[in-house]
Every structure is written in structure tokens, then in C-alpha cells.
Structure 1
Amino acid sequence: MQDRDTSQLPDSAGPVTGAVRRLADEFDGRVHPRTLRRTVQRARRDLAGVPEGALPELVERLARERLRSAPADRR
């Protein structure tokens, strides 16, 4: 997967960047990189208020679940 531009990430990019990197390998060839990145960014926004220490795991888990359950035509 080559489209891993993270320059447009929100301030709390650490959890987002890590989740994008790991999920890109997991969903390579199945989810467009832009869709994957946006899904992770939405998960991060939706988890606003969660303690910083829990964000990396929760962002990745929420994004993974959303990617797995997304209809095939949205991928």
C-alpha cells in the first residue's frame, strides 16, 4: 500500500498514524488507502475525551471494526 500520506492528520496524530500504518498492512488490497485513513481519523474524532493513554488501542480497534463491517461497495 503506497498512499500513506499523513500530513492532513489532526493534532493527536500519534494514535492515528500508528493505526493507519498497522491497518494499512492488514487491509492492503481490500480498502482504498484514503478510505482507511479517513476511517481512522473519524474513529479518533469520535473518541474525543478518551484518556490519551487509551487512544492508540481504541482508535485502532474502532477503525478496524468499521472497516470490517463496511459494505463492499464503500471500499
Structure 2
Amino acid sequence: MAMAVPSTVSDPSVRSAIARLSREFPDLGPDPIVLVVRTCREELRGSPDGALPELVERLARQRLRVSLD
């Protein structure tokens, strides 16, 4: 998995995914969640804007689950 440099741009799809995934994966702490979500957002940059919040969160959730296995 390629890791992106954390974005300085405030993106609602990133903020909402980080908030929900932080509650879902409290044992991971914020730093890995933020990095995975921002990386997923960067990888999905060509996707339609309306689909981004769901796509970002789903991809990040899957990657976080795999990291716990």
C-alpha cells in the first residue's frame, strides 16, 4: 500500500471518515487512521465528488481491518 503525504487541505470526506473510523477502531489511535484515510482519499482523487465520502471510508475501513489481522 502506498502512503500519501498528509494533505493540508480540509476535505469533508476525510474528516467524516476519520471521525467514524476513530470510533470504530479506538485501539489504533488517531495517527494510523488519519494516514490511511488521507492515503485512500489521494488514491481516489479521480472519483466523482458525490461518491468520495463513501468510497474513502469503505476503502480505509477495509485497509484498517486487514492491518489488524
TM over 0.5: yes
1:39–1:18 Cα change, 3 Å? same
1:30-69 Cα offsets, whole Å, 9 max, x none, are x121000000000000001100000000000000000000
Distance 2:8 2:60 in 1: 16
CA distance in 1, matches of 2:42, 2:51: 14
Give the alignment partner of residue 15 of structure 1, picking from 13, 16, 38. Answer: 13
Deviations 1:10-44 (A, max 9, x none): 43611000000000000012x12100000000000
Q: Which residue is 1:28 aligned to? A: 26
Unaligned runs of 5+ in 2: 1-5
Higher helix share: 2
Cα separation, 2, equivalents of 1:10 and 1:55: 18
Name structure 1 gaps, 5 residues minimum.
1-7
Aligned residues: CA RMSD: 1.6
Based on CA coordinates, which of the two structures has the bigger radius of gyration? 1
Normalized against structure 2, the TM-score is what? 0.83
Q: How many residues matched?
A: 64
Give % identity.
44
Correspondence 1:53 to 2:47 = no
